[in-house]
Amino acid sequence: MTRKIAIIGTPEKWSTEALADAMAARTGYRQVVDMGQAVLDLGAGTLTCDGVDLCQLDGLVLKKIAEDYSPDALDRLEMLRMAEAAGVRIFSPPVNVLRLMDRLACTMTLRLADIPMPETTITESETAAAAALERYGAAVFKPLFSTKARGMMLLDSDAPDARDRIAEFHATNPVMYIQQKADLSGADLGMVFLNGDYLCTYARISQTGSWNTTIHSGGKYAAFDPTPELIDLGRRAQAPFGLTFTTVDIALTSAGPIVFEVSAFGGYSGALKGCGIDAAALVADHVLQEIGA
């Protein structure tokens, strides 16, 4: 029996297509779903895209819900609940991913789980934001919805235009998320988990002198061998979210390791380029095992 399992992602993007290829190689069925083209008909009880009713499939794998994180992406996750209610297995479940799309929701979950994180202040007050910056010395102002450091602002407390830059950031970010700048020493880590099981860890190493190490900012992947204690930290950080595949972002500082965030969709490229692990193949095998192919 051929299982029809579609990949929700961004057409023509490497990780989406790699996952679709891995699934097709195992099932003979290949379908990439762009949720920006999906139509939810509540009266008919259908969720269609490119002529395919997602409610009639055997499974869906969430690789990417939108190219950029935004409140609109949350609505796309809500739409997927129609397919889930029809009995379609979704990996990872939409309600679990919802808790990660908003940076504040992710942070609250991590802090309540007693995961070490950078000092952080959330406020709508520019006066309170300036006070937090003064305490931290240097801080990164982060949008609540963003990936790959997009929209983030690094600010030193002694900057002569600090107040003006806070006001500028506040104009487009009513709720300000302010995090003390951590000394990454030019690198941070991505710890990869499949269904809660540890797979590997890769490092993102800055090549440009940028304050962040993301690949978007010119960082490069490299292998990293973590201690058992560090693996345990990553495992505890991802555990509350119940994701099929994820990456935990960890930095090593002079005060000990800290966790920045847990990824909603995981780093397929980092696992391959940094660790030599074909995450797409492993995810496809796991999904088929869960569905009972």
User: Which residue's structure tokens are 């806070």?
Assistant: 166
| Arithmetic mean of pLDDT, 41-65 | 97
pLDDT at residue 26 is higher than 80 = yes
CATH 3.40.50.20 fits 5-100+282-291, yes or no: yes
Helix (H, G, I), strand (E, B) or coil at 24: helix
Least confident of 60-74, 115-129, 237-251: 60-74
> What spatial distance separates the first Cα and last Cα of the chain, rounded to whole Å?
8
Give tens-digit pLDDT for 225-249.
999 999 999 999 999 999 999 999 9
290: its two tokens: 């869960």
Cα torsion angle, 210, 213, 216, 222, sign? positive
The CATH class, in words, for 102-116+183-276 is alpha beta
Give tens-digit pLDDT for 156-173.
999 999 999 999 999 999
Q: Would you list the domain boundaries of the chain? A: 5-100+282-291, 102-116+183-276, 121-180
The architecture that CATH gives domain 121-180 is 2-Layer Sandwich (3.30)
Which amino acid is located at 137 in the chain?
A: G
Q: Which residues contact 42 (CB under 8 A, 6 or more apart)?
A: 82
Provide the pLDDT confidence category of residue 211 given band limits of 50, 70 and 90: very low
Compute the distance between CA of residue 82 and CA of residue 107 in angstroms, rounded to an integer. 28
